[in-house]
Amino acid sequence: MSLNATLRTATSGLQAAQMGLRAVSDNIANVNTPGYVRKTVEQQPLVVAGEGMGVSVTGTKRVTDQYLELASQTAAGESSRWSSYSQYMDTAQGLFGDPTSENFFFNRLDTIYSGFSAAANDPSSTLLRGQAVANVQDFLGESQRINGQLNSLSQTMDTRISADISQANDLLTRINSLNGDIVRARLIEQDASGAENIQAQLVDQLSGLMGVKVSPHAGGGVDIRSGDGLKLAGDGAVLGDGVGSGLGTALLPYAAGL
C-alpha cells in the first residue's frame, strides 16, 4: 500500500472518529432535552479494488424503537378520544342529575303518574287536577332547559373541532415541510436527526388530536394518514377548513369523543 493510500485510510478513520465524538457530545449535551433522541453514527468499511481503504460514514441514525413509537402514538390518539368521550358524557349526564337522587330528571315521570293517579281517584278535586297539570308543565319545562343545554354542548363540540382542525393544519404543514429538510440533508449526507426529533414531537402532538397512521417516507421523514387511510402529509399537507372536511371528519371522533 502506498503512502498516500495509507494516509487516506488514516484520515478516513480520524474523520469517522470525529463524527462519532460529535454525536456523543450532542447526546451528552441534550440528555435532559425534552424530545431529544440519542443518535449514533453509521459506518461501513471502505473497500477499493478489493482492498480495505479505511471507513466510510454513511449517516447518522436516531436510536429509537419504531414499534414502540407507533404504539405510543396510537395510544395517545385513543386516550384523547376516550377522554373527550368521558368529558362530554359526564357533562350530559350532569344535565339529567344523579340517577340515585330524588331530583333525577326521569323521576319526574313517577311524580306525573302519581299526580294523575291521585286525580283519577278523586276527579272532583280541583287541587289534585291542578297539581297533575303542574307536574306535566314542570317536566316539560325541565325538558326544554336540558334540550337547550344539550344544543349548547353540541356547539361547544363544534368549536373545539374547529380549533383542533386549525391546530392539526399547522402541525401537518410543519411535518410536511420537515420532510423536505430531512430528504435534502440525507442527499448531501448531513445529520438530519435534529429535524427528525422535531418532526417526531410534532407527530406526537398530532396523535394527541386524532388517530394517525405513520409510515416512513421515501428518502426520509414520514407519511401521515388518518385512521381511514386518507393521506394527510408526506408529499404535501392535506388541510381541512371545517367540520365537514376530510380532516374534520377524521378529527370528529377524537374531539367529540364519538
pLDDT in tens, 14-70: 888 888 888 888 888 888 888 788 888 878 887 777 777 788 777 787 877 777 777
From 43, 62, 81, give the residue that closes a domain. Answer: 62
CA dihedral angle for residue 120, residue 125, residue 126, residue 131, rounded to 10 degrees: -50
Which residues have CB under 8 Å from 255's CB, separation 6+? 84, 157, 160, 161, 164, 209, 210
Indicate whether 51 and 174 sit together in one domain.
no
Q: Structure pTM?
A: 0.67
Contact at 8 Å (CB) between 165 and 242? Answer: yes
List, for residues 77-118, the tens digit of each pLDDT value: 777 777 877 888 888 888 888 888 888 888 888 889 999 998
User: Measured between alpha carbons, how far apart are the two ends of the chain, in Å?
Assistant: 71
* pLDDT band of 161, cuts 50, 70, 90: confident
Which of 165, 202, 166 lies closest to 182, judged by CA? Answer: 202
Both 56 and 82 in one domain: the answer is no
Q: Are residues 25 and 91 in the same domain?
A: no
Task: Mark whether 88 and 116 lie in a shared domain.
Answer: yes
Sheet holding 212-216, edge to edge: 212-216, 222-226, 231-233
Same domain, 53 and 120: no
* Structural domain boundaries, residue 34: 3-62
Taking the C-alpha atoms of residue 184 and residue 118, their distance in angstroms, rounded to an integer, is 83
The domain total for the chain is: 2
Pair 55, 78 in one domain: no
Q: What angle, 0 to 180 degrees and rounded to 10, lies between the N-to-C axes of helices 126-187 and 107-121?
A: 160
* Residues 56 and 105 grouped into a single domain: no
